[in-house]
Amino acid sequence: MVAIDVPVQRAQVENLYVEAMLLADEAHAAFAVQRDLGSVAGDATAQIGLACESLKTTTRLMHVIAWLLHRRAMFAGDPGAGPNDSAARIGSPVAADWYVCAGFDEPVRRIITASERLFERIAKLEAGWEAPAVTPVQQLLARLEARL
């Protein structure tokens, strides 16, 4: 496997972070509109389906955002952020129920699809990721720990 330069990794993480945050804002707005004005009004089963898919989409996006924030912390040399932490792993995907989603308006379906694709992109990135080299801050902390 070819090592990826740390500046490229940082740029990827920053770009993906912006994308994830924008998608989270879109999701919030789209699910609110669907809930308040959309086709689920008055249909209890559809409302429950919308609530469940809203939670799944939010969970997917929060896992992505947490993974990206952890990577940012690693690049910054945060001694509490390591490559073996549980936050360094994206985990298993939370799949949408497309039978339920078929009843949603197109903007909501698009956001659900985008959140699944973003999660998949992060999982693929993680699978090919090489842990960044130990930062100077981490090296200094290790030396100080060794002396104590």
Domain CATH number, residue 20: 1.10.8.930
Residue 79 lies in a domain: yes
**Number of domains comprising the chain:** 1
Range of the domain at 30: 6-147
Confirm if 128 and 89 have CB atoms less than 8 A apart: no
Q: Sorting pLDDT into bands at 50, 70 and 90, what band is 46?
A: confident
Residue 22 lies in a domain: yes
Q: Is the pLDDT score of 56 beyond 90?
A: yes
Confirm if 21 and 80 have CB atoms less than 8 A apart: no
Residue 24 lies in a domain: yes
Residue 89 lies in a domain: yes
Residue 97 lies in a domain: yes
Least confident of 2-16, 63-77, 78-92, 100-114: 2-16
Residue 1 lies in a domain: no
Residue 119 lies in a domain: yes
The tokens 């898919």 sit on which residue?
A: 53
Could you give the CA distance from residue 5 to residue 98 in angstroms, rounded to a whole number? 38
